[in-house]
Amino acid sequence: MSYIKKPVARHPKLKVNSLGLTVRDYEGSMSTLCAGCGHDGVTAALIQAFFELEVEPHRLAKLSGIGCSSKTPSYFVSEAHGFNAVHGRMPSVAAGANAAHRDLLYVGISGDGDSLSIGLGQFCHAIRRNVNMLYILENNGVYGLTKGQFSASADIGSTSKGGVVNRQGPIDPVNTALSLGATFVARSFSGDKDQLVPIMKSGLRHNGFAFVDVISPCVTFNDHQGSTKSYAHTRSHMHEVIETDFVPLRSEITTEYSEGSMQSVTMHDGSVVKLHKVAGEYDPTDRRAVLDYLVDVGSRGEIATGLLYLEEAGDDMHGFENTVDEPLVEIPFADLCPGSKALEEVQKEWW
Amino acid sequence: MHPTDTRDPQYYHRVVDCQWACPAHTNVPEYIRLIADGKYTESYMLNRESNVFPGILGRTCDRPCEPACRRTRIEDEPVAICRLKRVAADLRGDIDHLLPKAAAEKNGKRVALIGAGPASLTVANDLVPLGYHCTIFEALPKPGGLMRTNIPSFRLPVEVLEEEMDMILDMGVEVHYNHRIDSMKELLDEGDFDAFFIGTGAPKGKELNIPGRTEGSANIHIGIEWLESIHFEHIDSVGERVLVIGVGNTAMDCCRSSKRLGGKDIKVMARKSRPYFKASPWELEDAEAEEVEILIDHSPQCFVIEDGRLKGMVFDLVEWEENETGRLVSTKHGETFIPADDVLLAIGQDNAFPWVERDIGIEFGEWDMPVVDRATFMTTREGVFTGGDAAWGPENIIWAVEHGHQAAVSIHNYCQGIPITDRPPYGMNLVSTKMGIHEWRYSNDYDPVLRTEMRYADLEKRLSDMKIEAELGFDLKETVREVERCLNCDIQTDFTGNLCIECDACIDVCPVTCLTITHNGEEDDLRQRLMAPADNMDQAIFASESLPQTGRIMVKDEDLCIHCGLCAERCPTAAWDMMQSDLLIPYAGHESWPKTAITASTTLV
């Protein structure tokens, strides 16, 4: 842990976005995670995404549970709203917050312990409800805070730092999310910001639950030979299926891809996500085909990455519930809860 | 790009902007750290090693280091390097036991030094401890050259000047005062000396030959001669209205001296506008603080003489514009008369070598200046060397000191039969500053405080006495504040590529966006592909060897690095380390260093 704060000195030629902010204005406090933690890479990618999307800090809500991953909301956008929930319970807090104030941008940060063990039920139901949020699972295969026990995402045959071999099968969060009907499913790597940043930007603009599984190596307890979630293993086994390019609303499309290899998806707000298929015949809008493909790739020990599945047309939680467009928090309390007299009037209908 | 060779002493030297810009390569960050530790004596001695006159230079240096300071690229104002040097000189303890001593036995070689200015004194400083017998010939009754005669004592107290010169002279230098050398030929022919050093400066003030100059000569003075007369107390007053022609540092000394000799209405007359002034900005400020008026765009036309007495001057009022070749051209749009009792000419200095015969093998070239080798400081006559203002025209004290060091190397080689082109190499020590898991042997935190202002003696009081030093110097509180502004540019971010796992932690934490991992390419291309473009071509970019996992390279733009050490703190494999680079500067008679760095790292490579 560094003893000094990050110096205020900055590069005088940093780009400034339309809000007059530089990328450094989206930072939080200094990370207290281990030096080299993948999670800090994810934080940096998020900061970049917020800067590029010109997010107003006070329009952002960041939520997390418990674990190394769940400490990271402190390390970005100090001016945003924040909630550090009970272990595994971030999804329901996020759902509640979103129900009350649908106009904020919600980012949930979780880990493999938080989402796949104690919070697995919560995770699944947030997907079913299609809560409009970006949900990031920082996946390192171990419990770092408790010194490196296997988590529920550890692969069969991978070894702990002490040499113990894991024999229990993993829960694959991507396959789980797909099978539960998630509408935005991606997998990426903390050491590859070129891939991560456009995925995060697309996820922030997705109308519904945007799930990103990020392989985020635990540099202290799971970066050895024998680990399948180390920097070296992820780099040598990572296999990019889809290259994502996020084109904000009213921007010129500049990246060119050969015909047939590209699919465009227009997002809820009019921005466009361009999906360039690196791996031949792959349809990121065909859920069953994607699942088949992932099972096949996974059985070879390869890690398929990219924005793997995207479906923009469906309803989110507010759509299902048919709620009003105006955020509930902005409706005067007297209108939200008109009192017992009004209730009696309503009940008269059934008398 | 090829991987950067950081073991070449010059690579890290260049990162230390102040040391790189200093002609004598004074180790600024280390002396500032020593001051921060309260080790004033050590700081003074470290200064003395390279610049010989820390007390003098701490007050009078032209400060090439300060505009170079990295801090000017992060914020506006550089670290007050020069004034901190004065702190070390003012607060140091007894140094008698630390000063170089004359060799116990003379080596039998005799060196003649002509002129007792900073260049000659530096040569003596370097050669006497090696056993040389040095003899100085000085035209004036006291040593110091222009340091004494040109710099008024309200800027440089005589005691400070004399104490530092005595450190050299007291080693046992033979000095002949009031001994002007009128013939180089005679001196050479005497056959008493093995080598000669000409350190006679640029002692001739430039003339302004416009109408009225001769008639008014009683009240028209050459600036440097006038300052010298004040120093030797031949002049103790000046008229009420004084015009100073020229706007260099000598002009500043002239106008401020006038203020102290009874001048009331002092005007400095400049032909051009402020951006073209030759004077250092701080000297301009000091003069203006003393209520000296500076008038721009006034070009001298003539002196006005009535009844054989100077009445004033007529100036052309001019405007300047760049012509198509980029040269400034003036157009006159009027003229004006400005009354004056005295006029001081401070428009530059010339060299003068009437005493060097032209048939003794010392060739003269352009501008009637001797032909001198830039590296060896030898004239075209073997065994005759030169340095300081005498070599290539007016510079400043710190250049004279460096010339002296280099000439001493040559003289030593020459007398020992070593080719003078065999210059001893620079070396470097490179030692990790790691003290604990995230602790370093230097204050790595960035302090955003602005440059500490200097305090001055009360205006009325200081104008009443030529000898009252204008600047008060930093007190302890100001010193503590100012030392923390130094960015410790000599504590290098040293990278070991084969340890890197490309986790990006250093890139993410760097506050000034100077790191990038990317695919290799040509330097020009790389400079544009970094996290922030590396547009400052004066600053190097570092390129690592190929990294183990992806074959990409680590690139660092040295331009804005504030040496906070966070890259090393956030590095899980200690691929980054904060290492102090100590430039080993060769002086005459020093043994040479190993060509590669002597390293002591915390990491096993």
In a domain, A3, yes or no: no
CATH topology of domain B205-348: FAD/NAD(P)-binding domain (3.50.50)
Q: How many residues would you count in chain A?
A: 351
Q: Which two tokens stand for residue B42?
A: 């050590």
A1 in contact with B at a CB cutoff of 8 Å?
yes
Which positions of chain A have pLDDT values less than 70? 250-260, 279
Question: For chain B, where do the domains classified as CATH 3.50.50.60 start and end?
Answer: 100-203+351-416, 205-348
Judge whether A340 lies within some domain: no
**Strand A149-150 to A142-143 pairing:** antiparallel
Min Cα separation B580/chain A (Å): 20
- Matching residue, tokens 């990426």: A188
Interface test with B, best of A10, A51, A52 (most B CBs within 10 A): A10
The set of long-range contacts for A176-182, using a CB threshold of 8 Å and a minimum separation of 24, is A176/A123, A176/A124, A177/A127, A177/A211, A177/A213, A178/A287, A178/A290, A178/A291, A178/A294, A178/A308, A178/A309, A179/A291, A180/A124, A180/A127, A180/A128, A181/A127, A181/A128, A181/A130, A182/A127, A182/A209, A182/A211, A182/A309
Helix residue spans in A28-119 (DSSP H): 38-53, 68-71, 90-100, 112-113
On chain B, the residues whose CB falls within 8 A of the CB of A231 are 501-503, 549
Q: What is the pLDDT of residue B338?
A: 97
**H or E element at residue B391:** helix B389-392
The verdict on residue A151 lying in a domain is yes
B438/A41 Cβ within 8 A: no
Looking at CA atoms only, how far is residue A230 from chain B in angstroms? Answer: 10
Any CB–CB contact under 8 A between A4 and chain B? yes
**A344 falls within a domain:** no
pLDDT tens per residue, range B415-457: 999 999 999 889 999 999 999 888 999 999 999 999 999 999 9
A336–chain B Cβ distance below 8 A for any pair: no
- HSE at residue A146, side-chain half, CA atoms within 13 A, is 9
CATH number at residue A165: 3.40.50.970
CB contact under 8 A, B549 and A231: yes
- The whole-number pLDDT of residue B604 equals 45
Residues from B contacting A (CB-CB < 8 Å) are 73-75, 438-439, 444-446, 448, 501-505, 507-509, 511-514, 532-533, 535, 549-550, 560, 562, 564, 566, 569-573
Q: How far apart are CA B453 and CA A264, in angstroms?
A: 61
Alpha carbons B34 and B483: distance in angstroms, whole number: 10
In terms of C-beta density within 10 A (0-12 exposed, 13-18 middle, 19 or more buried), how is residue B179 classed? Answer: middle
Cβ-defined contact of A8 to B439 (cutoff 8 Å): no
B444 CB neighbours in chain A (<8 A) are 4
Q: Which H/E stretch holds residue B581?
A: strand B576-584
Structure ipTM: 0.92
For every residue of A183-209, DSSP letters joined together read SEEEEEETT-HHHHHHHHHHHHHSSSE
Number of domains comprising chain A: 1
Residue A58 lies in a domain: yes
Report the alpha-carbon distance of residue A142 to residue A146 in Å, rounded. Answer: 9
Residue to substitute from B79, B444, B489, B503, interface A, most A β-carbons within 10 A: B503
CB contact under 8 A, B511 and A13: no
Q: What is the mean pLDDT of each run of 10 residues along chain B (605 residues)?
A: 94 98 98 97 98 97 96 95 98 96 95 98 98 97 95 96 97 97 96 96 92 94 95 93 96 96 96 93 94 96 94 96 89 95 94 93 91 96 96 92 98 96 91 91 95 96 94 96 98 97 97 97 96 95 97 97 97 96 92 64 49
DSSP 8-class letter at B218: G
Chain B nearest CA to A306, separation (Å): 19
Partner-chain contact A11 B533, CB within 8 Å = no
In a domain, A17, yes or no: no
Domain covering B100-203+351-416 in this structure, CATH number: 3.50.50.60
Report whether B249 contacts B61 (CB < 8 A).
Answer: no
Are residues A40 and B569, on separate chains, in Cβ contact within 8 Å?
A: no
Predicted pLDDT at B605: 40
Q: How many CB pairs under 8 A join A and B?
A: 106
3-state secondary structure of B515: strand
So what's the pLDDT on residue A250? 66
Opening angle at CA B19, ends B11 and B42, nearest 5: 120
Residue A124 lies in a domain: yes
Structure-block tokens of residue B453: 């202002």
Cβ distance B569 to A223 less than 8 Å, yes or no, reads no
Q: Does A191 touch chain B (CB under 8 A)?
A: yes
CB within 8 A of B279, min separation 6: which ones? B247, B248, B249, B251, B252, B287
Q: Shortest Cα distance from B327 to chain A (angstroms)?
A: 32
Give every CB contact of residue A52 below 8 A, 6+ residues apart in sequence: A17, A197, A201
Q: Which domain holds residue A72?
A: 23-330
> Does residue A322 fall inside a structural domain?
yes
Instruction: Verify whether the Cβ–Cβ distance B513 to A10 is below 8 Å.
Output: yes
* SS percent in chain A: helix, strand, coil, step 5: 35, 20, 45
